[in-house]
Amino acid sequence: MEEEIIGAIAEAEQRATEIRERAAIRAAEIAAQAEAEAQQIAKASEESCKAYRDAQIAAAEQSSRKAYAETVSARRTEAEDYADEILNKTEVSVVGIVRRIFGDR
């Protein structure tokens, strides 16, 4: 009877060792698969972030160009209005000076 118990224990230990070995192999497979998936996710995320960054830069550049054009246009209009005002004032002064020099001819 003792030999049967000892044999059963040895057999159980052998099965436990086999189970541990299979579990270690499976764990290594799972870890390798997880690492490969993690690398794919990292690559996809990097590409996605780069595309998003490029899109945001393009949008910012476009917005800046639009704001610049609007500002230049507004300032050009102000400058033209100011120049017209100065020319009108100058014309009145010049006409007055010419009349004084040449008399009311």
Render each residue's pLDDT in the chain as its tens digit; 105 residues. Answer: 888 888 889 999 999 999 999 999 999 999 999 999 999 999 999 999 999 999 999 999 999 999 999 999 999 999 999 998 888 888 777 777 777 788 765
Does a structural domain hold residue 102?
Answer: no
Q: DSSP class of residue 46?
A: H
Does a structural domain hold residue 86?
Answer: no
pLDDT at residue 105, as a whole number: 54
pLDDT at residue 7, as a whole number: 87
Rounded to whole angstroms, the Cα distance separating 103 from 63 reads 59
Does a structural domain hold residue 23?
Answer: yes
Rounded to whole angstroms, the Cα distance separating 105 from 39 reads 94
- Which one-letter amino acid corresponds to residue 89? K
Domain extent, residue 44, equals 1-74
Total domains, the chain: 1
pLDDT at residue 4, as a whole number: 87
Closest CA to 94 of 67, 13, 102, 4: 102
- Which one-letter amino acid corresponds to residue 98? V
Does a structural domain hold residue 37?
Answer: yes
pLDDT at residue 48, as a whole number: 95
Q: pTM score, two decimals?
A: 0.53
Residue pointed to by tokens 């009877």: 1
